[in-house]
Amino acid sequence: MKVVLITGCSSGIGLSLAVRLASDSSKIFKVYATMRNLAKKERLLESVKGLHRDTLEILQMDVTDRQSIMNAREKVVEKRVDILVCNAGVGLMGPLEIQSLDSMKHILEVNLLGTIQTIQVFLSDMKAQGQGRILVTGSTGGLHGLPFNEVYCASKFAIEGACESLAVLLQHFNIQVSLIECGPVNSDFLVNLQKAELGDESLQQVDGQTLSLYEKYLQHCSMVFQNAAQDTEDIVKVFLEAIHSTKPAFRYFTNSVMPPLTNLKVSEPDGMNYITALSQIIFSDDQ
């Protein structure tokens, strides 16, 4: 039996992945679905229809609270985790000049340090086991920048660096690190996102040109989510591909091909083609 621990399971990708693995007909997975606030566990319980008492356990875990990560680790009865899924994350959207230090710190604490310290807490056991998988929910916003998402992208870019560095080392311990790079996904992400709305008082201090570009960005964003967002089940399929692979890749793209913008970014090292292309896509008047 493979012991899987997943962060951020009260909604979205984490919830779907927990349900799928706990319901697997082969019963090869024992899932520890963790969430910051156990009061939100009903949705997960409803989704598994109470059927999977032997394959699913729900634990409290706030990725920004080291003690709560250690407490969760203690509660894993098998005393090992074979597959660690770092999935918890939050977004922050709006003009950079209005973001408070506290909200920026919060994004970095959850997305970056939360992921890193979750890995830290489980790493020694995994090394001692001589095997393991670390799967991280990445974002195409961790591969190329998105206007009005500077701090979110910074946190996701940083995850790429941390994971790639770890992947090089952990090969020597038979531990594989994989990033599941998602584009837009239908989840609670947009609801949980800290987002400046157009009528907000905080936007009054922002210059008119930025505001009009922000308005265009918001339109672009809702169009992209309407036309191109994937369902969490599509993302779960990619997680399963990584989990079942005997030689998992470092990066998986949920859209099966590398998105053209990511391609542009990696194939043009001087960086200007990507910046010009994205600006045209989002802000040009003839879209």
Separation of alpha carbons 94 and 152, rounded Å = 11
The nearer residue to ligand NAD, 3 or 110, going by C-beta atoms, is 110
Q: Which of 124, 115, 226 is nearest to 179 (CA)?
A: 115
Separation of alpha carbons 194 and 180, rounded Å = 23
Residue 184 binding ligand NAD, by CB under 6 A: yes
Cβ burial, residue 119 (10 Å; 0-12/13-18/19+): buried
208 is in an annotated binding site: no
State the number of binding residues for ligand NAD (CB under 6 A).
Answer: 26
Stretch that binds ligand NAD, among 177-185, 200-208, 236-244, 270-278 (CB under 6 A): 177-185
Residue 56 binding ligand NAD, by CB under 6 A: no
Residue 182 binding ligand NAD, by CB under 6 A: yes
Q: How far is the CB of 42 from ligand NAD (least distance, A)?
A: 13
Residue of 90, 238, 278, 282 interacting with ligand NAD (CB under 6 A): 90
Helices 208-228, 272-283: inter-axial angle, 10-degree rounding: 90
Separation of alpha carbons 14 and 187, rounded Å = 10
Residue 149 binding ligand NAD, by CB under 6 A: no
Separation of alpha carbons 41 and 115, rounded Å = 21
Strand partners, 16: none
Separation of alpha carbons 123 and 114, rounded Å = 14
Separation of alpha carbons 174 and 8, rounded Å = 26
Show contacts with ligand NAD in window 69-88 (CB under 6 A).
Answer: 87-88
22 is in an annotated binding site: yes
4 is in an annotated binding site: no
Residue 36 binding ligand NAD, by CB under 6 A: yes
State yes or no: is 152 an active-site residue.
Answer: yes
8 is in an annotated binding site: yes
Q: Is 77 helix (H, G, I), strand (E, B) or coil?
A: coil
212 is in an annotated binding site: no
The nearer residue to ligand NAD, 192 or 202, going by C-beta atoms, is 192
Residue 137 binding ligand NAD, by CB under 6 A: yes
Separation of alpha carbons 80 and 50, rounded Å = 25
Residue 47 binding ligand NAD, by CB under 6 A: no
Annotated binding site for substrate: 139
Q: Which residue numbers are catalytic? A: 152
Query: Where on the chain is the footprint of ligand NAD (CB under 6 A)?
Result: 7-8, 10-14, 36, 62-64, 87-90, 110, 114, 137, 139, 182, 184-185, 187-189, 192
